[in-house]
Amino acid sequence: MAAVKALVLRTAGTNCDEETRYAFEACGAEAELVHVNNLVKGEHHLSAYQILALPGGFTYGDDVASGKVFAVELVKALGQELQEFVDKGGLVIGICNGFQVLVKTGLLPDAQLTGAEERKLTLTHNDSHKFEDRWVWLEADQNTRCIFAEGGERIPVPVAHAEGKLVARSPEVLAELESGGQVVYRYINEDGSEPCYPADPNGSIGHIAGICDPTGRIFGLMPHPERNFFPYHHPQWTRQGMKKEGEGVRIFRRAVEACR
């Protein structure tokens, strides 16, 4: 059986790229860390991979807005190749800054690489008007069609962002996401109840932490599952007892298994 191949794309300001690469490799994929310039030059080709990962960070210093410059670069320099990758069934995951990039390219929520200024939704400044860095709880929507998640599961993960508030152009956009199974994870209190700040660190509509496209193959989330990979990543692991693995592993494993 041919190995599942994942491309972890980085550029100036990317972080957690090594952790993301390791996560895919530990789940059985062959993962490569590739700079965007190598794709632009044709030294690597998206068609050689089944999974594309856009890690977290502060690409190009988050100039203008978080993920905006990188999004423009992808649309202008790699638009056709990226759209073909998506249309042929490739999986895409954007984490934190990667989520911001996917939204600003147009790949979320509609899987169309438009880069349009007038989008259905965007990610903007947290309600607290400051950088939020803490562990939170997520619950997967029961009706989600995302292949990276399982409906109803609850997982703890860390967040680290200043522009993570998901806002929609209209109530109809939110209704469309919910009815189409495109809401993937929501922030919750540890007991599963509806959160307020700081359990919801940014004030997103519907407490949404992650969404997918209509096919469930393009997935963006603000929290960092690669930072909850080993059981001792959790700050309370000594109290909780040593688990087999961190809950974030599930997200990467599902992607690899889906490709197989």
Any idea which residues carry the catalytic annotation?
96, 224, 226
84: enclosing H helix or E strand: helix 68-87
Torsion over CA of 152, 55, 97 and 52, rounded to 10 degrees? -80
Closest among 219, 142, 211 to 173, alpha carbons compared: 211
Tell me the backbone φ, ψ of residue 19, rounded to 5 degrees.
-65, -40
CA torsion sign for 186, 91, 107, 37 is positive
- For residue 254, the SS3 value is helix
